[in-house]
Structure 1
């Protein structure tokens, strides 16, 4: 192992350690504020998390555009793009169905809402939650297929897509669509487009370097995010809904094990090396409750693992639009939980219809914290369940969002590595070690 490789490994492990420490300190600090042991204006503390997430959102659009365009252009022809795209989408559809089915299965078997003794939300509780739900609804549209295609798929302007909605959220799927067209067109130009291709490739290197700078502040953001959540909700919220939280995380752990088992089937023991590489991204997405925050670190981790950048930069953006395993499981699990709390029986046929509906409604949620709440609300209304039930899980959504965001990171990482192997674009362990050494400590 070279000195640069050793430095890179130590730097990654040091950052991951600081993220874990920051999570613990944030919980303790938030508890002290919540119990009035100390008096702190939390708006100044949570500002750190806000600034970090804004910095991440700042680089997502140019990073996705540059890496995806270069990945497609390097494939050289539309046949290669179509082949990889079909493999990726096939994987995503199967993973989505399994995630949704697991959510329904665990909710029905464990019955987290049955006999919960939770009183129906009062008018005051509903009114207090309306403003929060209204904020989540910005950028998340009606659950119908026509509305999905109209509002989420094709951008009217790439500038508007990169600029985002009223909350400043990137319209990632629209950026992906534009980048697909741009990359295919650039690749078709051949040598005449080489100059532009080189410029965009340099842009991707610059954005990766900027990402490295931003990530150095991750522990501060993690501390602020955890402190803000606990200071606002208190540790008691975890006890109140302990059964729901434990059941959901049991379902998530099962999904993690299944994802790792599938990864082991295709990658062998190397899947554990992949998990080691993405641990930073895992903890970052867990602590910030944002899959988008982990995107740049996952690209770096896949580079070190040996996945060709032309594969990872193509599959990852698609995965962040179509393969949100944790979010989809949560939507199914939470909808059944709310039905159980109200004592509403749902037939198997109705649950299957809900599963298929969520296959569409769960798309386009990447990078929008708690957007799952709005998807669930739309699903509840569509199937005659009380939308007011959203209030019952609104208070603990942050703690659940952390788990599902981390799951999204794991699922997309494994998908990229497997598809890279299918395409012959995964380096051997020895070659990957040499590449990791060449990347240096700033990788």
Structure 2
């Protein structure tokens, strides 16, 4: 006889997600900064502890992610024509995303007027000769670079090491397994310390508002508007433009991608939308052989929404800190971001580890991360959705590049599945 005992429901506190806790922290932190500015300023130590823990995991994340992503891509010979076409497609999309986010931030200047506590303590990078920049990017020891927190040297070493693993083939399998395990453990570490994010966000928002007043709220609102406008603009102009340029049926594509987009928007998780994405791009008409090669690579190497946001957030913090970046510094930052954004798909808040690595290397204040984390919950839905749309556009473009044709009709009896 089946049991009639009522199923225990989770407590109220367990039903609140981490994102909701961070939004609650923002709602509490903003008025607290106005009401009790002196007390709010003393809370800065809470966000400082959180940021130190983020810094502690940078080196393991970079080594694990970059070596796994680059070395695990298969041999150069096995990559084949499809793989190379996919890589060209990804690099074009992510480069345009990076430049788009950077350009929107320079145009709208959302960080101007925002005062970040502790920003004056940041060490601004010195302008040095180009040959010295190149020399300083080459490590003499990985351990030394990790100990000093020199992110650029770590990126250079891990990139070359990953290429060497790819060339070594099966002999490098134990190394790649280790890198994969290290990355997984590092992200679990990140997951654990993210439980400190709500008090860190509360402390950061309170101390920032106490220092900057209404200008902070105006700056965060401008960042929100800039983020949504740039993400939507990229999706329509770049991704939509690529579909039109390759003569992919636009209305049919929108019909089949609408559900993965909505799942990603509702869950803020590319992983949750992945089954729908793979199924629906096949129903749209992309051949399985293209999906099998392009889709796995796209998930790691084609993070358009995340790449755009990281560029935008970097310039926002530089503007808020009053740091003027030279052209050489901007180009070096863009090149560093181009590499460090690879392979972090599906990892909640992994963008903040990437930003922490960049900020530490280029003298931007880490305190800006906690401020970004406060508004991130409002930006994450559209950022994740653009990532997912990019995962659908890339296989369709590569399929057309290969000469595939798609039906042009739009099904009328295709009721959307319910989101999980």
TM range (shorter): 0.5 to 0.7
5 Å-filtered alignment, 1:214-363, equals 241-258=220-237, 259-268=239-248, 270-363=249-342
What SS class does the counterpart of residue 385 from structure 2 fall into?
helix
May I ask how many residue pairs the two structures share in their alignment?
Answer: 292
Structure 2: how far apart are the matches of 1:355 and 1:318?
Answer: 22
Paired residues of 2:302 and 2:391 also in contact (CA < 8 A): yes
After alignment, is 84-93 or 403-412 more displaced?
403-412
Within 5 Å, which residues of 2 pair with 1:31-180? 41-46=12-17, 81-120=79-118, 144-148=155-159, 150=161, 156=174, 161=180, 165-166=184-185
Unaligned runs of 5+ in 1: 1-38, 50-71, 73-77, 124-140, 170-228
CA RMSD of the aligned region, Å? 3.9
1:286 to partner: Cα distance: 2.1
**In 2: Cα distance, 1:264 partner to 1:302 partner:** 17
Correspondence list, 1:396-415, <5 A: 396-415=375-394
* Match among 347, 353, 359 for residue 380 of structure 1: 359
* CA gap 1:151/1:292 in 2 versus in 1, 3 angstroms: farther
Partners of 2:119 and 2:365 within 8 A in 1: no
Contact 1:88 1:419 in 2 (8 A): yes
- The structure-2 alpha-carbon separation of the partners of 1:89 and 1:271, relative to structure 1 and needing over 3 Å to count, comes to same
Per-residue deviation at 1:80? 8.9
After superposing on structure 2, the runs of 4+ consecutive aligned residues of structure 1 that deviate more than 4 Å are 78-81, 117-123, 148-155, 157-164, 236-240
Match of 1:213 in 2: none
Change in 2 beyond 3 A, CA 1:387/1:162? closer
Q: Distance in 2 between matches of 1:424 and 1:96?
A: 24
Distance 1:168 1:379, change over 3 A: closer
Secondary structure of the residue that 2:14 maps to in structure 1?
Answer: helix
SS of 1:90 mapped into structure 2: helix
1: distance between equivalents of 2:94 and 2:234?
A: 11
- Structure 2 gaps of 5+ residues are 1-9, 21-73, 122-149, 167-172, 189-197, 207-215
| Match in the other structure for 2:127 | none
Deviations 1:251-306 (A, max 9, x none): 111111121122112125x1232122111211222222222221111111111110
Output the TM-score relative to the length of structure 1: 0.57
**1:263, 1:418 within 8 Å by CA — same for their partners in 2?**
yes
